[in-house]
Amino acid sequence: MPRQSYVNGRYVPHASAAVHIEDRGYQFADGVYEVIAVAGGAIVDEGPHMERLFRSLAEMKMTAPASAASMHVILHEVMRRCRVRDGAVYLQISRGVAPRNHAWPADIKPAMVVTARPIAWPRNFAEVRAIEILAVPDQRWGRPDIKTVALLPNALARMQADAAGAADAWMVDEDGMVTEGTSANAWIVTEAGELITRQLSRAILAGVTRRAILEFAGANMLAITERAFSLEEAKAAREAFQTSTTALVKPIKKIDETVIGDGQPGPVTAKVFEAYLAYLTSFGGGN
């Protein structure tokens, strides 16, 4: 079966899937989204993702086009039609279609699309390669805690990193404190072995992978602190890594021109990765 996607109530061939030219997601970046991991045919952390999605909708004063239960059915049907057992599903909701105007009509109907793609998850930490990071100014709007499709600053930062030979960028606020990566939460390990990630606020997205790691890292007796850390502190760290739905736990070997630790993935990062990989695969019964 060729790849299919869901568009506003219909399952259509992915190659011909389309939305209206006056969809506000296209014209105003007026929409929200979620990227959700799939492992062994099961959706990973569906509850937290739906919780964050509905929070984003509420913050944007948008109406949900379907209930969480209906979205569950749609997500699984797209996975089935695309034969995705390991990978990710992408769900996007825009405010809908209306004549172009900054203000939207009261009766606007939200639009929803869902796609799925396969991902070969790493089998162990030995398969994971450390990456280089470029530090850039954080130029996003004031509400990156809302998972909107307004990702131009993130995309520009990623392209700047790519041009510099780095895999990603860490964004730094006006006080010199790291906020997050272009699509990942940032973490460091201090010389004392303490695991640090920035506390939740309007400055960062509440990552679902971040949330899971905080829960089982604490259970594994890792010392954890949620606080802001500076770019200088990150460069002086013993280890650094970032977390996201599709990259899981990605070790960092270099920030700008500074090598982190000995330039190799560290033991704390390895422990966090292996624990999260076991958590991920548990959703599909270990498949």
What whole-number distance in Å separates Cα of residue 187 and Cα of residue 270? Answer: 13
Would you state the pLDDT for residue 1?
Answer: 65
Name the more confident of 86 and 218: 86
The domain segmentation of the chain, as residue ranges, is 4-118, 125-282
The residue behind tokens 């969809």 is: 23
Neighbouring residues of 197: CB distance < 8 A, sequence distance ≥ 6 = 185, 186, 187, 188, 210, 214, 224, 226
210's tokens:
């971040």
What average pLDDT does range 179-195 have in this prediction? 97
Question: In the predicted model, is pLDDT for residue 31 greater than 80?
Answer: yes
Per-residue confidence at 262, pLDDT binned at 50, 70, 90?
Answer: very high
Would you state the pLDDT for residue 286?
Answer: 47
Question: In the predicted model, is pLDDT for residue 5 greater than 70?
Answer: yes
Neighbouring residues of 218: CB distance < 8 A, sequence distance ≥ 6 = 224
Is 250 one of the annotated active-site residues of the chain? no
55-83 residue pLDDT tens: 999 999 999 999 999 999 999 999 999 99
Would you state the pLDDT for residue 218?
Answer: 77
83-96 residue pLDDT tens: 999 999 999 999 99
Task: Out of 147, 250, 253, 254, pick the active-site residue.
Answer: 147
Would you state the pLDDT for residue 285?
Answer: 62
What whole-number distance in Å separates Cα of residue 171 and Cα of residue 169? Answer: 6
Per-residue confidence at 28, pLDDT binned at 50, 70, 90?
Answer: very high
Question: In the predicted model, is pLDDT for residue 287 greater than 50?
Answer: no
CB atoms inside a 10 Å sphere around CB 108: 16
Would you state the pLDDT for residue 125?
Answer: 96
Question: In the predicted model, is pLDDT for residue 2 greater than 70?
Answer: yes
Task: For domain 4-118, give the CATH number.
Answer: 3.30.470.10
106-122 residue pLDDT tens: 999 999 999 999 999 99
Would you state the pLDDT for residue 221?
Answer: 73
133-176 residue pLDDT tens: 999 999 999 999 999 999 999 999 999 999 999 999 999 999 99
Taken in order 56, 59, 61, 63, is the CA torsion positive or negative?
positive
Decide which of 3.20.10.10, 1.10.1370.30, 3.90.1170.50, 3.40.50.2300 is the CATH code for 125-282: 3.20.10.10
Taken in order 6, 12, 17, 21, is the CA torsion positive or negative?
negative
In Å, the largest CA–CA distance within the chain is 58
